[in-house]
Amino acid sequence: MHVVYHQPGCFPCTATMNKFEKEGIPVRPIDITTNPGAVDVIRGLGYSGTPVVVTEAGEHWYGYKPDHILALKG
């Protein structure tokens, strides 16, 4: 399942999760403010902000990228 690392009050995070839902693509949201170690995960990927999306294939990106999300539909 695709994963979205997010935090409260983050408009791009909300837009990203809403786009996944609108397109019917399953996603597992992880709130970095309540999940110990989540910040370390996104920093390990080279990011310092949210949202960070990690796909089932292990690809990842930062920010709201609707074109990337649509590409996951195949």
CATH number at residue 57: 3.40.30.10
Tell me whether residue 8 is in a domain: yes
Asked, for residue 41, whether it belongs to a domain, the answer is: no
| Strand order through the sheet with 27-31 | 27-31, 2-6, 52-54, 60-62
Q: Which residues form the domain of 56?
A: 1-18+27-32+49-66
Which pLDDT value is given to residue 34?
97
How far is 18 from 20, CA to CA, in rounded Å? Answer: 5
Indicate the pTM of the whole model: 0.95
Question: Does some domain include residue 10?
Answer: yes
Q: Judge if the upstream peptide bond of residue 8 is cis by omega within 30 degrees of 0.
A: no
What pLDDT score was predicted for residue 37? 95
Count of structural domains within the chain: 1
pLDDT of res. 44: 97
Q: Is the pLDDT of residue 74 over 80?
A: no
Residue at 72 is within a domain: no
11-48 per-position pLDDT tens digit:
999 999 999 999 999 999 999 999 989 999 999 999 99
**pLDDT tens per residue across span 13-22:** 999 999 999 9
Q: Which helix (H) or strand (E) holds 30?
A: strand 27-31
Q: Kindly write down the DSSP assignment for every residue of 10-21, as one continuous string.
A: -HHHHHHHHHHH
